[in-house]
Amino acid sequence: MGKPRGRNLLKKQQKDQFKPAKELDELHEKDNFDESNDDDSKPQMFFGVLDREELEYFKHAEANLSMDAFDNSEEKKQFITNVIEEIKGKELKLVISQICSKLMERLILECDDQQLKSIFKAFNGVFYNLSCHKYASHVLETLLVRGVALVEKELLTPSFDGETDEESFVTMENVYLYMLNEIKPHLKAMVTHKYASHVLRLLILILASKNLPKTTQNNSTLRSKKSKIARKMIDIKDNNDFDRVHQTPESFKLELKEFLQNLYAAFTNGATSRSEISPTFVTKFRELCVDPVASPVIQLIIQVEGIFDRERSFWRLVFNTVDETDAKEEAFLEYLLSDPVGSHFLENVISFARIKYVERLYNLYMKSKITKLAQRDTTGAFVVQALLRHLKDKEVKEILQALVPQLSMLLNSNIDFGTSIIEASIKEGNYLRDEVINQLLEKYYPANNENRNILESCLLLSSSTLGNTRDDWPTAEERRRSLFLEQLVDYDSKFADITIESMLNLPEERFLQMSYHGVFSHVVEHILKPTTVDAIKRKLLLNVLCKDVVNLSCNAYGSHIVDKLWEFSAKLTLYKERIANSLMKESDKVKNSSYGRRVWKNWHLDQYLRKPIDWRRIVKEQDLEIFPNAQPLQPKNQPKRPRHTDLPPSKRKSAK
């Protein structure tokens, strides 16, 4: 046996000497089922394990529900009833298992009202414990959403069946209130727990009667990006209880009020006013505002506290309300504006705070450096965009005056700024519209560049997934840029003209590739508007698109463009017939495609084949509907040809 390292051993003994016995025991204890070490109370999260036969049965049941291969609804209902009978007494073992927790979620989404209540009651006494578990917390969230839907159902359609069973008289509202009372002592710990915080956010939304977002929704107030991705992978579909607002009884509002009062007392050590709060507690609470786990919870609390608290206690705990600068608050604001979590916090609370509070922060701490903040691409820029959306007219115009001259530079790293500036300008009655357009043209279509092309400068076609043969999915950045270009096309006709000009300057193959692309095809589709494009440019665009119209018709993205060509070719009957004839020649290929069949129907090709006179009548009716004055848009800067009756009598004969 080797000699122990005495120096390290001595240090460890000295260190352990000053630790409480309880802490030493916890250090030596290893619990594989405890998913969270953040919570001071360390709730128990091990409730036993299933034996091998039970585990195999429940895995098989989960697989059956996942495939949903039942002959009819009655068979599925009976299967769910049988499984629920089997899980009785084993619910807690199931929810802490990765596979079996998915089974519990599926059962909760499919079970009837009485079965839902029985599952709810099985968790009595351990709701807080389950909220702290990685898998059980997801089951609990699904249970809470289905539970509040049942609360609403009982509230709107009370039952008077006169049943004698005691279970029948226990309302879901009472079951919910019992659960809320169980959770109240642990609210402060839940704020900072990485799993329980999601449950707490859901409870606040439910008690405040706010919309309950889908589990896979983007920018959700409930789930993180990682959680949404995982949710999509397990393929559990939400039912109709998600993505809606539920009516709740008055008792829920009282519970919310008590929730927030308890949290305020816990964070301020029982202080009743802002002046009584120790600066230490204010500092600690501000630290939570930039904590990745606690920050979304505090954002939600600030959003709903105004329902019953006119003083906005939590806002006052984070920010001062007197119209004078404070060194500590200024340092805190600077940190928020420089930190990714902090800037997200400030951006969101600005969205639903009182306007006078937002004006105070802007005037005291942000007005003098608004341009510098806009240049912080990943932090302060988002706060500036929120200010443009929510401040009053005077302040918005001040910000526009500071930022519009810098717009072409700001767009280098943050294309979303263009959207915010355009929307703010429109909201203020097209304020500085000409300057905004000039800045955008300078950025994307500079006059001193002979090879200028807005598709290259805005969409970055040369470095995009366009034309890739590896079936790459369009990127999020490509989607943002495409949407921005579509917004520019709608903002001013100059951008529509230069977009069409840029498309026509592309090689035909490149232009057609855009029509097959999952994102860029929307840009092509967006400019196909017969009333805003002159006849010559419409013909030039149709000359390119007609060359591959059959393949476009059979493509998921190109088929939408061919549908748009039905209107885009108004008053251009020869082009319309040319497209119809191309589709008719390869009718088998078109009809064998699900996308092609839609194009066939939208182009009324059955009438064209069997009753061409009726088809031409439909075409003429469409022409009159789109161009009621019987005159398509003429090219700009082209002299209008005089009518014969407009000529003087001496020249009419020669004109003939």
DSSP class of 272: S
The alpha carbon of 567 is separated from its chain's Cα centroid by a whole number of angstroms, namely 33
The alpha carbon torsion through 216, 222, 226, 229 (nearest 10 deg) reads: -10
Query: ∠ at Cα 415 (414, 416), nearest 5°?
Result: 90
Q: Over range 569-577, report the average pLDDT.
A: 94
At 21 the pLDDT is 39
Q: CB atoms < 10 A from the CB of 90, how many?
A: 16
Query: ∠ at Cα 250 (245, 255), nearest 5°?
Result: 90
The alpha carbon of 23 is separated from its chain's Cα centroid by a whole number of angstroms, namely 43
CA 39 to CA 266: how far, in whole Å? Answer: 15
CA 541 to CA 545: how far, in whole Å? Answer: 6
Q: What does the block give as tokens for 476?
A: 């999020």
pLDDT, one tens digit per residue, over 296-352 is 999 999 999 999 888 899 999 999 988 899 999 999 999 999 999 999 999 999 999
**Domain ranges within the chain, ordered by starting residue:** 528-627
At 22 the pLDDT is 38
At 227 the pLDDT is 56
CA 516 to CA 466: how far, in whole Å? Answer: 9
Residue 75 vs residues 69, 70, 116, 238, 256: alpha-carbon distances, Å: 10, 6, 19, 21, 41
Is the pTM of the predicted complex or chain greater than 0.85?
A: no
The alpha carbon of 268 is separated from its chain's Cα centroid by a whole number of angstroms, namely 34
pLDDT, one tens digit per residue, over 129-150 is 999 999 999 999 999 999 999 9
Q: What does the block give as tokens for 572?
A: 């251009």
Nearest to 137 by CA among 51, 62, 39, 59: 39
Q: Over range 456-485, report the average pLDDT.
A: 87
pLDDT, averaged across the chain: 85
Q: DSSP assignment of 538-558, as one string?
A: HHHHHHHHGGGHHHHHTSTTH
Range from 32-41, 86-95, 545-554 that averages highest in pLDDT: 545-554
CA 613 to CA 356: how far, in whole Å? Answer: 67
Q: Over range 472-478, report the average pLDDT.
A: 84
Nearest to 84 by CA among 119, 122, 124, 127: 119
Cβ neighbours of residue 467 closer than 8 Å, sequence gap 6 or more: 510, 513
At 98 the pLDDT is 86
Q: What does the block give as tokens for 611?
A: 């009753």
CA 197 to CA 204: how far, in whole Å? Answer: 11
Q: Which amino acid is at 126?
A: V
Q: Over range 548-577, report the average pLDDT.
A: 95
Task: Yes or no: say if 79 and 41 are a contact pair by the CB < 8 Å rule.
Answer: no
CA 572 to CA 225: how far, in whole Å? Answer: 49
Task: Yes or no: say if 139 and 108 are a contact pair by the CB < 8 Å rule.
Answer: yes
CA 455 to CA 445: how far, in whole Å? Answer: 10
Q: Over range 518-536, report the average pLDDT.
A: 94
The alpha carbon torsion through 544, 545, 550, 554 (nearest 10 deg) reads: 140
Q: What does the block give as tokens for 564?
A: 């748009």
If DSSP codes are grouped into helix, strand and coil, which group holds residue 212?
strand
pLDDT, one tens digit per residue, over 43-74 is 777 777 888 888 899 999 988 888 888 889 89
Nearest to 200 by CA among 312, 279, 297: 297
CA 631 to CA 530: how far, in whole Å? Answer: 12
At 608 the pLDDT is 93
- Indicate whether 40 pLDDT > 80: no
CA 144 to CA 140: how far, in whole Å? Answer: 6
At 622 the pLDDT is 92
Residue 284 gets the label, from left (phi > 0), alpha (psi -120 to 50) or beta, of alpha
- Indicate whether 273 pLDDT > 50: yes
